[in-house]
Structure formats: structure tokens, C-alpha cells
Amino acid sequence: MIQSTPKSCIYFDNAATTWPKPSCVLAAVQRGMTVYGANPGRSGYKMAFAASREIYSCREAAADFFNLDNPANVIFTQNCTISLNIVIKGLLKYGGRAVVSDLEHNAVIRPLNSLSIKEPIFDIACVTPGDTQKTVEAFRGCIKPDTRAIICLHASNVSGVRLPIREIGELAHMYGLKFVVDGAQSAGVLPIDMKKDSIDYLCLPGHKGLYSPMGVGMLLCNSELQLPTLIEGGTGSLSLEMSQPQELPDRFESGTLNTAGICGLHAGINFVKNKGIDNIASHEINIIKYIYQRLCEMKNVILYTACPDLINSAPVLAFNLKERQSEETAQLLASKGIAVRAGLHCAPCAHRRLGTIKTGTVRLAPSTFTTFRDAQYVCKVIENI
């Protein structure tokens, strides 16, 4: 059995990519390169069939985990960004507008900007942390006659602020709009139910809270609307036809899939399911709350949110040290064996909201493998700095 790599640093960059990976994920990736090493869906021999079955099993696991009826509507992509591009450029290819939050990642803003030829085709709703009613009303106030979709993140990758997606989803469907959720910072950490949350399209990475390798993501479709394709090519089906197949998942899965990555994703989903998403969330939030409370006692530390909790937050904490750029603080932490990310985190909208567009922030994000000893060490190093 392959074991997880021993820690060589105190790793708090899990909002970018979780590390270390569970041993079950490492073993599954190895099986993907050996037992399932043939091209899935392209050939009629035993190993190719086995690869196809394993990939479909991962679809079933993902559909069950996020409460989606049809596993064929689980589409494998390279990452969450590709999933968002497929949906955004598909929904708005022939016109219309979208409503987004003022905390969005560039994975949402840049595709929308690329479609905004003469003027922006999106309206920005101001999120009020901890106040569901004000946040929902802000989204409602941005809806126009030609609005086609509400597109928002579940939780900010900068500050951890959590959006009330269930209520926003109900609002979207009340107005006949599609609801698209970026689950990059929440999948595997916070509960997501596509039916109860009224989600039409859920865009996810595998390499964060689902503990898969990098290079595999998902788009889960809970809508009968047939989106235009972003990429066309060989699917192993209907090869005589010059046009792309209509059926999912083939419509959006041209070319050879990342079988080893999907095997790792399958194992990661099972790992999270077995450990319990509530247990993971509680552990990670408690780690962040401990650090937050310690940092509150340090006079030269700047914090940007209220103390994190399970209702309003994902386990992400942004801070700065007075009179230091965030990158400088991150380098000092790295010199003491602590891995964090600093800067703008590909989310300038959130930094404009925080007033940190010039300095960026230092981001701390634990995983299920982070210990309180890790947290204590981080706090001590920050205190010494």
C-alpha cells in the first residue's frame, strides 16, 4: 500500500491544492496507470472496458455525493475553470446577461469579460457577510429583463466568506434563471445538494477539497438545456458524424480523459464521504478559529473578516502584517517551513472589496490533515515576525 508522503513543511496552502493526498488516492492513481492503463471508450478489449467501468463508477460516486440523478450528466474536465468556461460561454453565447457577486474569482469574471464586446454583460451584487436577506436582495436588485443566469461562488477563496447559495438558487428559479455555482472552495468541505440548492450547473475542481491529483475537474449538469460546445473532437461515439454528439457526457468530453486523475478523484470522493463532510468542516473551521483568535491578540496583525464559523465561513483566513506586503510576509513564513499563498489569489474583485488591491493578503487554509500543533507553530512564527 502506498502511503502519504510525510510532511516536509507546515502546509497551509490547501485553498490552492490540498496536500498531502490520502494514501487511498495515491494508490488509486497508481491503479489508473496500471490496471486501467488503456484508453477508455475507444477499444473492445478487457483493459479498455475496465477503464470505462471505473470512469463510470466515478460519475456515479460524484452524482450520489452532490445529489444529481443522472451520472451521465457528470462531465470530466481539466479543472473548475474549464467547467465555468463551458457553462458561461454556452449560456451567454447568443446574448443575455448574468448576475455575479463582488467576490468572484477571475474564472468567472474573465469569461464574462471576454463576452462583453461593447459593455459589460454582467451585473455585480454586493455580498453582506452573515446577512442572508441583504445578500439575496442585492442579487434580486441586479436582475434585468435580459438576465439569463446567476453565477456565483459558494465561498470566497480570499476571505472564506460563504454565500447563501440555497436562497440565491431559489431566487434564480423564481425568476426563471439558470443558477451556476463555483464550488472551488467548498466541494468536499461544505455540504452541496444540487436539488435542495436549486443548482443547474455545478463547477468543481478535484484537487482541492476532494483530494484528487491536479488536472481533473467536473461539471455537473442538472438542466435539460443543451449548451453549445466549447471544444469539439473525437469522443469514441458517432464517429461517422461530422458534428459533435448531443448526448452527455460525450458532448463535452472530446479527446482522451485523464483516467489516472479520475481514479484518484473517485478515491478522494470516497475518502471525504467516509470521513464525513461535517467532521472535515468542523475540524478545519476550529483550526482557523484558533488561529484567528491568536492573531487578534497581536497588535500588528490586520484581519479582514469576523471570526470564522460553520454557518458563514469556509475554512480560509486572510491577514496581513502592518507595513509589510503580503508577499514579504509569505517569504518570511516560508523561511520557517510554512507554506502559504500571498497576493491577489486571482480574485481582484474580492481584494477591491477588502481594500487590499495594492498589498494583497496572506492566506491560510488548512485541510483534514492539519493539526493544532501546526496551527500553534504558525501563530508562534507570526508572533515572532
What is the pLDDT, as a whole number, of residue 374?
98
Residues 58 and 145 in one domain: yes
pLDDT tens for residues 193-228? 999 999 999 999 999 999 999 999 999 999 999 999
Segment 248-269 mean pLDDT: 94
Q: Is the pLDDT of residue 309 over 80?
A: yes
pLDDT level of residue 3 (50, 70, 90 thresholds): very low
Q: Percentage of residues in the chain with pLDDT exceeding 70? A: 97
Q: Is the pLDDT of residue 242 over 80?
A: no
Q: Is the pLDDT of residue 231 over 90?
A: no
Residues 48 and 178 in one domain: yes
Specify the CATH number for the domain of residue 346.
Answer: 3.90.1150.10
pLDDT tens for residues 29-79? 999 999 998 888 777 899 999 999 999 999 999 999 999 999 999 999 999
Segment 93-97 mean pLDDT: 95
- The predicted model scores a pTM of 0.95
Segment 284-308 mean pLDDT: 97
Residues 60 and 182 in one domain: yes
- Residue 217: closest CA among 85, 73, 104, 81: 81
Q: Is the pLDDT of residue 241 over 80?
A: no
Indicate the range of 109-118, 241-250, 285-294 predicted with least confidence: 241-250
Residue 314 maps to a domain: yes
Segment 135-159 mean pLDDT: 98
- 27 touches 11 (CB < 8 A): no
Mapping DSSP to helix (H, G, I), strand (E, B) and coil, where does residue 364 land? Answer: strand
Choice between 106 and 254, residue whose per-residue pLDDT is larger = 106
What is the pLDDT, as a whole number, of residue 239?
66
Residue 2 maps to a domain: no
β pairing state of 361-364 and 317-321? antiparallel
What is the pLDDT, as a whole number, of residue 234?
72
Q: Is the pLDDT of residue 2 over 60?
A: no
CB count within 10 Å of CB 271 equals 21
Residues 315 and 198 in one domain: no
- Distance CA(72)–CA(97), nearest Å, equals 28
Q: Is the pLDDT of residue 327 over 70?
A: yes
Mapping DSSP to helix (H, G, I), strand (E, B) and coil, where does residue 237 land? Answer: coil
Q: 243, 274, 305 — which closes off a domain?
A: 274
Residues 57 and 171 in one domain: yes
Specify the CATH number for the domain of residue 257.
Answer: 3.40.640.10
What is the pLDDT, as a whole number, of residue 238?
64
What is the pLDDT, as a whole number, of residue 129?
96
Q: Percentage of residues in the chain with pLDDT exceeding 90? A: 88
What is the pLDDT, as a whole number, of residue 39?
86
How confident is the prediction for the chain on average, in pLDDT?
94
β pairing state of 147-153 and 178-182? parallel
Q: Is the pLDDT of residue 5 over 70?
A: no
Indicate the range of 18-32, 72-86, 139-153, 232-246 predicted with least confidence: 232-246
Residues 118 and 241 in one domain: yes
- 14 touches 33 (CB < 8 A): no
CA-CA distances (angstroms) from residue 3 to 23, 88, 215, 266, 287? 5, 39, 21, 17, 24
Grid coordinates belonging to 207: 484537487
Q: Backbone dihedral region of 215: left (phi > 0), alpha (psi from -120 to 50 degrees) or beta? A: left
The whole domain housing 372 covers: 277-384
Taken in order 232, 238, 239, 240, the sign of the CA dihedral is negative
Domain count, the chain: 2
What is the pLDDT, as a whole number, of residue 287?
98
CA-CA distances (angstroms) from residue 345 to 127, 185, 320, 326? 19, 12, 14, 11
Residue 223 maps to a domain: yes
